[in-house]
A and B are shown apart, each in its own frame.
Chain A
Amino acid sequence: MSTLEIRDLQVAVEDKAILRGVNLTVRSGETHAIMGPNGSGKSTLAYAIAGHPKYTITGGQVLLDGVDLLELSVDERARAGLFLAMQYPVEVPGVSVSNFLRSAVTAVRGEAPKLREFAKDLKNGMDALSIDAAFAQRNLNEGFSGGEKKRHEILQLELLKPKIAVLDETDSGLDVDALRVVSEGINRFRASGDTGVLLITHYTRILRYVKPDFVHVFAGGRIVEEGGPELADKLESEGYEQYTKATA
């Protein structure tokens, strides 16, 4: 049983205030959807929790099972059980997918996985996400299509088994087939144990495959409305206009 607690989080980028007091608690077993228009600060929230150096915390707290994540380095946060699937996964030349994944799994588990077991887990994970076996030898994200990058993020999610996963627009840019494959991966992860999911999305489409327990509407750097799955239906029919007007 894990809890991610975001308390009055305020974040600036290059001296510009972006997040203006975000409060949110995600417990394992729960899936929270954060929905909001472009530029409302959703990625800023994700990056700030993960510890990206560009984002400056100007106030508030982020606790994972009572541990202040903001005091930890990026890699310590990941080893503490936090995972961020990035909206724009980075290409790293010369670092192969298999080498990267083995390093990551070793770091997170605290010991190197047995080679044969790791190879099997990797193969199963890749098969389930319809990722070609040849990907393991390719350079990390280099030349991957948008869909391939997102599937690869979910592969990492399944291999690293975090306590809390933040998924930043994993659905963006996916065609329907890829969306289904990626959603199945997220659902396998949800079913695999005591895990919490913070699903950031711009569109309601993914919520048909990954059912949220709570929906939060994000606008102007804070949560402006909260509710159950029915709130997503309202957003589907009415759009974000009412919220963007209110915060403009």
Chain B
Amino acid sequence: MGLNEKPLSTLHEKASYDLADFDVPTGREEAWRFTPLSRLKGLHNGKAEATGQLVVQAWTPSGVSAEWVGREDPRIGRAYVPADRVSAQAYNAFEKALVITVPKEATPEDHIKVELRGGGADGASYGHIVVVVEPLAQAVVVIEHQGSAVYADNIEFVVGDGASLKVVSLQDWEDDAVHVSHHHAQLAKDATFRSFVVTLGGDLVRLSPSVSYTGPGGDADLAGVYFVDAGQHLEHRLLVDHSQPHCKSNVDYRGALQGEDAHAVWIGDVIIRVEAEGTDTYELNRNLILTDGARADSVPNLEILTGEVAGAGHASTSGRLDDEHIFYLQARGIPFDEARRLVIRGFLGQLIERIEIDEIRERVMGAVEAELAR
């Protein structure tokens, strides 16, 4: 049960489309205790009016559709029910949702791109995106967040039988942005889901990726890289809810922190329910703390309710740069700053290497390089 007094399964019980079902958080709740509410600019208490300027654009390869639909569209909210106050706020406040559909058995050559560009952090914006990958289809979605905004949204990934979806979500916001987001993936029988989250910018980013399964054989891999600078609060809250037999999940999040009041939060919740026999799951979070004044909170929680798991484990480490690594490189003539960059790049690069699209991998590596050069 980790640090929680209640089991995970009860902690994540609450879900509702109705905003009134969620009290305004005070910061004492388990789900909000790490988040500096005063910096949410009212996203959590109804005071953030939807007067923000955020432009969403989508590019789809042929055969893939992207539609803007009204709130009543039946495809909205089918896979995901808001799980906290800000999520419910976003669900009730968005005007139009973007629905992207990859038809049955389609294998588009190119990736789908969604760009969200904020025009300022004065007013708030709310959004909703649904990505449906129909049975046996395969798709890659790249979501890029740029500019400045106060933004809350929910994204639903509906992955059909035997389908495969890879998502890269890049949070490359300006320094004053506030972003609270839920990414929920629902995996049907034998579906594959790969998520790669990169969070670099923003004053406060709180991203909650979650996975549920509706049939056996689903396979989810959730990777993340973050680089936290002075004053930033970057929070990732993962939930994998195994309720079907013979599914897999793997979580690997890594971050580097530097500067006064750089704060990273990682919560990794995995529930293996009674029905979920043969589950294979592992979750890992590693933090590299580069300077004094930076703090990483890392909380893995694993609740196993069945006696029949194939594998279940978790690990969390937070530490300094290893003196021995730096010494070895310096002893070969490499100056300290470069040695340090090599080690950090290596630490994050091992994950970044797994991004399969060259262009995106290089973009992410370039963004990390830019952070290292700061």
Is A52 at the interface (CB under 8 A from chain B)? yes
Judging by beta carbons under 8 Å apart, are A78 and B328 in contact? Answer: no
Judging by beta carbons under 8 Å apart, are A104 and B328 in contact? Answer: no
B334, B336, B345: the one contacting A104 at CB < 8 Å is B334
Task: Report B75-93 residues with CB < 8 Å from chain A CB.
Answer: none
Contact indicator per residue, chain B 335-365, by CB within 8 Å of chain A (1) or not (0): 1101100110111111000000000000000
Judging by beta carbons under 8 Å apart, are B349 and A94 in contact? Answer: yes
Is A193 at the interface (CB under 8 A from chain B)? no
Judging by beta carbons under 8 Å apart, are A107 and B324 in contact? Answer: no
Contacts of B335 in A (CB 8 A): 75, 107
Contacts of A195 in B (CB 8 A): none
A53, A73, A93, A156: the one contacting B332 at CB < 8 Å is A156
Task: Give CA–CA (A89, B345) in the complex, Å.
Answer: 20
Q: How far is the CB of B224 from chain A (nearest CB, A)?
A: 16
Judging by beta carbons under 8 Å apart, are B347 and A75 in contact? Answer: no
Is B327 at the interface (CB under 8 A from chain A)? yes
Find the residue from B323, B324, B325, B331 having the highest chain A CB count within 10 A: B331
Q: Which of A95-103, A119-127, A220-228 contacts B (4 or more CB under 8 A)?
A: A95-103
Residue of A nearest to B346 (CB): A94
Residue of B nearest to A80 (CB): B333
Is B330 at the interface (CB under 8 A from chain A)? yes
Judging by beta carbons under 8 Å apart, are B330 and A74 in contact? Answer: yes
Judging by beta carbons under 8 Å apart, are A78 and B331 in contact? Answer: yes
Judging by beta carbons under 8 Å apart, are A50 and B342 in contact? Answer: no
Q: How far is the CB of B81 from chain A (nearest CB, A)?
A: 39
Is B329 at the interface (CB under 8 A from chain A)? yes
Judging by beta carbons under 8 Å apart, are A107 and B332 in contact? Answer: yes
Judging by beta carbons under 8 Å apart, are A100 and B333 in contact? Answer: no
Find the residue from B325, B329, B333 having the highest chain A CB count within 10 A: B333
Residue of B nearest to A94 (CB): B346
Contacts of B333 in A (CB 8 A): 75, 78-79, 104, 107-108, 160
Judging by beta carbons under 8 Å apart, are B332 and A108 in contact? Answer: yes
Q: Are A90 and B328 CB-contacts (below 8 A) given A95-B343, A99-B342, A139-B346?
A: yes
Is A84 at the interface (CB under 8 A from chain B)? yes
Judging by beta carbons under 8 Å apart, are A50 and B331 in contact? Answer: yes
Judging by beta carbons under 8 Å apart, are B338 and A73 in contact? Answer: no
Contacts of B324 in A (CB 8 A): 90
Find the residue from A84, A100, A108 having the highest chain B CB count within 10 A: A100
Residue of A nearest to B342 (CB): A95
Q: How far is the CB of B350 from chain A (nearest CB, A)?
A: 4
Judging by beta carbons under 8 Å apart, are B346 and A73 in contact? Answer: no
Judging by beta carbons under 8 Å apart, are A92 and B332 in contact? Answer: no
Contacts of A95 in B (CB 8 A): 329, 342-343, 345-346
B325, B334, B348: the one contacting A103 at CB < 8 Å is B334
Is A178 at the interface (CB under 8 A from chain B)? no
Contact indicator per residue, chain A 59-81, by CB within 8 Å of chain B (1) or not (0): 00000000000000111011100
Task: Give CA–CA (A75, B329) in the complex, Å.
Answer: 8
Contacts of A51 in B (CB 8 A): 330-331
Q: 5 closest Cβ contacts across the A-B interface?
A: A94-B346, A104-B332, A107-B333, A78-B333, A74-B330
Q: A92-B329, A104-B329 are in contact. List 13 more A-B contacts (CB 8 A).
A: A74-B330, A75-B336, A78-B333, A86-B328, A90-B325, A92-B325, A92-B328, A100-B332, A103-B332, A104-B332, A107-B334, A108-B332, A108-B333
The 17 listed contacts between A and B (C-beta, < 8 Å) are A52-B327, A75-B330, A78-B330, A78-B331, A86-B328, A89-B328, A90-B327, A92-B342, A95-B329, A99-B342, A100-B332, A100-B342, A104-B332, A107-B332, A108-B332, A108-B333, A156-B332
